[in-house]
Amino acid sequence: MVEQATEPSRPARGTSADDIVLPFGTVKSHVSGRIVRLGPSVDTVLAAHDYPDLVSALLGEAMALTALLGHPLKADGRLILQTKTDGPVGFLVVHYDAPGAMRGYASFDRQKIDELTGSERMVAPGDLIGAGRMAMTIDPGSNLASHQGIVALDGGSLSDAAHTYFRQSEQLPTFIRLAVARQMVPGAGSATSQWRWRAGGLIVQHVPRLGGDPRPDETPEERDARLHGEDDDDWLRVSTLASTVEGHELIDPSLSPERLLLRLFHEEGVRVGDETAVTARCRCSRDRIAGFLRGFPADDMAEMREADGAITVKCEFCSTSYRFENGKLD
């Protein structure tokens, strides 16, 4: 029975609708999906770096995508998404440690980014990323073997690459949309208002189902493709509905994820699961950095010393600097 077209019921939230991944499923069509809404978590990561807006926006998209893909992992699982290309943003990486800790950073050519920023034409994702590859390394935890999927990046977006990964590696029809933008957050007065980054995303995936009456003149192969692939009627209907989502809806703080799901899939009926909180959290620490430095030969350590004998290491993820006076690692 299809649920009534009311906002999907769920336990009351203790906080806001930000920094969560919310899983859901459509009742009529049995399509599964997740919606992510990032506020302070993405802003914390991006604010830690002096990135141009174009670079911050791309890393914000990568964070939203990684949260969507990493959500199904168990508590000790980990997903690493990274790109290596010949574009102005030559490298970016996002770590997702289940159940929701994230960190990330990007490496870029500032001169090329400035040229794109100063151009009069609209900058496309391929202008930033260029050609190369995107890798997703999945560590499921529980002492299970890790595996990696690699897809080509050739002038497309991160979501394009993710679509290719699911189509080729998982053979799973998938729809993904990502959004990121800066929004003005009002303070006590106009002088205290500040711009904050927000990001969001939506993924829906076809769930293969068994059974179903064969159609006239339909071969077994055609029936299998219809029930398991992109020609399935339920999948076509839900993916079409999902494609109507607007970028601003994915990041609008006044539009709850549940209300957005109702807006998109009210004809299908929606059931939501338990949300997972997302936080910005780096794994660096003074002890970890000291252990890393101990692995260097004495000659290399000597070259790292500053004029006063100290060694300073800056974490690329969170920009925290660790200074070891006189090079002492104790």
Residues 6+ apart with CB under 8 A from 257: 17, 20, 22, 35, 37, 272
Task: Compute the chain's Rg from CA coordinates.
Answer: 22
What is the tens place of the pLDDT at every residue in 216-244? 565 655 545 555 566 688 899 999 999 99
Structure tokens at 9: 């019921």
Q: In whole angstroms, what is the distance from residue 15 CA to residue 276 CA? A: 12
Pairing of strands 147-154, 32-38: unpaired
Note whether 96 and 66 are within 8 A (CB): yes
Q: Apex CA 33: angle with CA 103 and CA 263, to 5°?
A: 110
Note whether 161 and 132 are within 8 A (CB): no
CATH code at 20-280: 3.55.30.10
**Can you tell me the mean pLDDT for 7-35?**
77
Residues 6+ apart with CB under 8 A from 267: 5, 28, 241
**Can you tell me the mean pLDDT for 163-186?**
88
Q: Nearest-CA neighbor of 20 among 316, 283, 272?
A: 272
Note whether 52 and 111 are within 8 A (CB): no
Name the residue ranges covered by the structural domains of the chain: 20-280, 286-327
180, pLDDT greater than 90: yes
Residues 6+ apart with CB under 8 A from 152: 131, 132, 133, 134, 161, 164
What local confidence, expressed as pLDDT, does residue 101 receive?
Answer: 97
- Could you report how far apart the first and last alpha carbons of the chain are, in Å? 65
pTM check: above 0.95: no
Q: Looking at residue 207, what DSSP letter applies?
A: -
What is the tens place of the pLDDT at every residue in 132-154? 999 999 999 888 889 999 999 98
How confident is residue 30, by pLDDT bands cut at 50, 70 and 90? confident
Looking at the chain, the whole-number percentage of residues with pLDDT higher than 90 is 70
Sign of CA pseudo-dihedral 60, 63, 68, 69:
positive
213, pLDDT greater than 90: no
- Report the top-level CATH class of 286-327: alpha beta
Q: Nearest-CA neighbor of 133 among 157, 152, 148?
A: 152
Angle between helices 53-70 and 40-47 (to 10 degrees): 130
**Can you tell me the mean pLDDT for 100-126?**
92
